[in-house]
Amino acid sequence: MNLLNQIKEKVATAFTACGFDTSNTLVRLSDRPDMSDYQANGALPLAKALKQNPRSIAEPIAAKLREDSFFESVSVDGPGFINMRISDAVLGAQAFNVLSGPQCGYERPDEIKTIVLDYGGPNVAKALHVGHLRPAVIGESIKRICRFVGDKVIADVHLGDWGKPMGLLITELQDRFPNLPYFDDTFTGDYPAEAPFTSKDLETLYPVASAHAKEDEDYAARARENTRLLQNGHRGYRALWNHFINLSVSDIKELYNELDVSFDLWRGESHVHDRLQNMIARLRQSGVLIPDQGAEIIPLGKAKNGNDLPPLIMVKSDGAVMYGATDLATIEERVDEFHPDAILYVVDARQGLHFEQVFSGAAQINLANGVSLEHLGFGTINGTDNKPYKTRSGGIPTLRYLIDTAVTAARQKMESGEMGRDLNEKEKTRISKIVGVSALKFADLMNERMKNYIFDEDKLTSTEGKTGPYILYAIVRMKSVLDKLGASGILTKADTVTITAPAERQLLLRLYALPDSVQTAYDNRAPHVIADYLFKLAQDFNLFYHDCPIKDADEETQKSRLALTKYALHVAEACADMLGLQIPDKM
């Protein structure tokens, strides 16, 4: 049992022994580490209910707890807080039993949840850009946190592959290459297996087509018609569209690979097309779908803020299906196929209204009864001027640009000697990639999801302060200490810790506190809680490393400090994994 749960048990027993109800003992990590390790605040609500003085309730409970050698001291402070300090002997003795497992003391709930996690949200034929960093990085971390807790998670990229952009591209290609077989309605042969264009071609054609449609109504109408024909199964267009998908998906996978972001499902909006047609027919028949100026809509009730929600447009007047409609059909599919307890969407906060509409529509047609639908929004990435981040030349940065900028910044820190002083050229190239990407991810994950943050390439790759490199440095140091003194390897019962200095105690207490951070991060879908914990762990380790000599310590002390380093590494690696950070072998 982890430390917090052991203390909860002991406190509950003391409450009972004093004749009190144990439903509200309020045991938690101390928010005053200078005064105690853990605290129990349950005497306060109890006193209120019993109309007694909280201190006179807390005192006998504290007296009971003092009888247990588990605690070094127990005091009643303020209006009636019970402050507990654990004995050093207990802290040292519990290390192996509590920390050595794969969950580092986190106790998984009995009930396993199934979660569909929708993140990434890239679009076919468009280069991934700055807006795609956060959904990929945050989504990946939430996936890993949920899996750490024991959930079964199905990660789906939900590719944007079915809307107007597809029709625009087809129209542009039609105008430029009218002789391609895809545009020949009499063609009955096999279409070429290889696309007659590259993904780069598509990325340049799309903005041209989009601009064209804005000023040429004729062209725009053709694009709408082509979208409709594609959706309705036009043979040539489907073949063309398959090229779009194949080219884009391989580009997208390459970038996600560099970010160490991966998915179980590579489905797109198109995947639910047939299901959506059935759904629309059904909703028409049951009268839920209402004609409205040529379109078909589902009227919705009130929004969270009390205003009326705008109706969900399912089918546009030109017959094309809308984004919200594919999202509804996708909910139906996910429920049918995976029976999830929750479907989570890691998508820009600015799509809040969209998801409110979709969830309200889903509730109205009983699509997801008992399934928790959650939009996990996030803020924007700004430049140092606090406006949306731009490239040096003022354009919208691609994801490629962001990764390269971070890697180059890491590389520069190596050239300037801030890091990587002992690395040769080849290692610098290899390791600046790992450090740059981890720095980029950490600089994102350490922020509360909903807040905007400032992308500052210089800061994010600094080795000082709350940064990825600072943390990686600490972890690499743990590894190298263990390697140098021949102490690497899996944890065993022989890895015992004896506390001899305050820094050891502080580090060990930090390790025992992991479950609390995991639970908070999980409950709030908040990777920044793990990022924050890992940063504090790195600080505590550095303090320990500074205060407590290892190499020159006597044999017994050295053994204990190496064991403590091993536990620190074990927990730090678990956290890095939850954040999706890779750790270099040296730095």
* DSSP letter (8 states) at residue 192: P
Binding mask 63-92 for ligand ARG (x = CB under 6 A): ------------------------------
Q: Taking the complex as a whole, how short is the minimal distance between the CB of residue 240 and ligand ARG, in angstroms?
A: 20
With respect to ligand ARG, which residue has the nearer C-beta, 327 or 516? 327
Does 516 sit near ligand ARG (CB under 6 A)?
A: no
Site for ligand ARG in 455-494 (CB under 6 A): none
Measured distance CA(477)–CA(473) in Å, rounded: 6
Question: Nearest-CA neighbor of 518 among 480, 570, 571, 457?
Answer: 571
Q: Which two tokens mark 323?
A: 């984004």
The distance in angstroms from the start CA to the end CA of the chain is 36
Measured distance CA(373)–CA(379) in Å, rounded: 20
Q: Taking the complex as a whole, how short is the minimal distance between the CB of residue 122 and ligand ARG, in angstroms?
A: 7
C-beta neighbour count of 313 within 10 angstroms: 18
Does 37 sit near ligand ARG (CB under 6 A)?
A: no
Note the residue count of the chain: 587
Among 158, 243, 411, 505, binds ligand ARG (CB under 6 A): 158
Site for ligand ARG in 353-382 (CB under 6 A): none
Query: Which range binds ligand ARG by CB under 6 A, 72-80, 81-89, 115-123, 410-418?
Result: 115-123
Long-range contacts of 196-202 (CB under 8 A, 24+ apart): 197/173, 197/243, 197/247, 198/247, 199/125, 199/247, 199/248, 199/250, 199/251, 202/125, 202/169, 202/244, 202/247, 202/248
Q: Taking the complex as a whole, how short is the minimal distance between the CB of residue 348 and ligand ARG, in angstroms?
A: 7
Report which residue's Cβ sits closest to ligand ARG: 121
Angle at the Cα of 493 (from 489 to 497), degrees rounded to 5?
90
Among 42, 54, 92, 121, binds ligand ARG (CB under 6 A): 121
Measured distance CA(123)–CA(143) in Å, rounded: 21
Query: Which range binds ligand ARG by CB under 6 A, 117-125, 138-146, 164-172, 278-286?
Result: 117-125
With respect to ligand ARG, which residue has the nearer C-beta, 347 or 414? 347
Does 334 sit near ligand ARG (CB under 6 A)?
A: no
Question: Which H or E run includes 313?
Answer: strand 312-315
Measured distance CA(81)–CA(59) in Å, rounded: 10
Measured distance CA(105)–CA(518) in Å, rounded: 10
Query: Which range binds ligand ARG by CB under 6 A, 92-100, 116-124, 193-201, 234-242?
Result: 116-124
Question: Nearest-CA neighbor of 367 among 469, 488, 277, 283?
Answer: 283
Among 29, 347, 474, 569, binds ligand ARG (CB under 6 A): 347
With respect to ligand ARG, which residue has the nearer C-beta, 137 or 347? 347
Q: Which two tokens mark 296?
A: 């078909």
E-strand spans in 5-157? 27-29, 38-40, 71-77, 81-86, 114-118, 152-156
565 CB-near residues (< 8 Å, 6+ apart): 478, 481, 482, 487, 541, 550
Does 123 sit near ligand ARG (CB under 6 A)?
A: yes
Q: Taking the complex as a whole, how short is the minimal distance between the CB of residue 270 and ligand ARG, in angstroms?
A: 12
User: Are 235 and 110 contacting, i.e. CB atoms less than 8 angstroms apart?
Assistant: no
Does 160 sit near ligand ARG (CB under 6 A)?
A: yes
Among 37, 118, 444, 457, binds ligand ARG (CB under 6 A): 118
With respect to ligand ARG, which residue has the nearer C-beta, 345 or 545? 345
3-state secondary structure of 400: helix
Binding residues for ligand ARG, rule CB under 6 A, total: 8
Q: Taking the complex as a whole, how short is the minimal distance between the CB of residue 168 and ligand ARG, in angstroms?
A: 15
DSSP, residue by residue, 339-381? --SEEEEE--GGGHHHHHHHHHHHHHTTSSTTPEEEEE----E
Q: Taking the complex as a whole, how short is the minimal distance between the CB of residue 347 and ligand ARG, in angstroms?
A: 4
Q: Taking the complex as a whole, how short is the minimal distance between the CB of residue 158 and ligand ARG, in angstroms?
A: 4
Q: Taking the complex as a whole, how short is the minimal distance between the CB of residue 345 and ligand ARG, in angstroms?
A: 6
Question: Nearest-CA neighbor of 272 among 372, 209, 358, 206?
Answer: 358
Q: Taking the complex as a whole, how short is the minimal distance between the CB of residue 354 and ligand ARG, in angstroms?
A: 7
With respect to ligand ARG, which residue has the nearer C-beta, 126 or 566? 126
**Residue 260 C-alpha from the chain's centroid:** 12
Q: Taking the complex as a whole, how short is the minimal distance between the CB of residue 491 and ligand ARG, in angstroms?
A: 41
The residue to which tokens 């267009």 are assigned? 237
Q: Taking the complex as a whole, how short is the minimal distance between the CB of residue 160 and ligand ARG, in angstroms?
A: 3
Binding mask 288-327 for ligand ARG (x = CB under 6 A): ---------------------------------------x
Q: Which two tokens mark 210?
A: 């989009």
Residues that bind ligand ARG (CB under 6 A): 118, 121, 123, 158, 160, 327, 345, 347
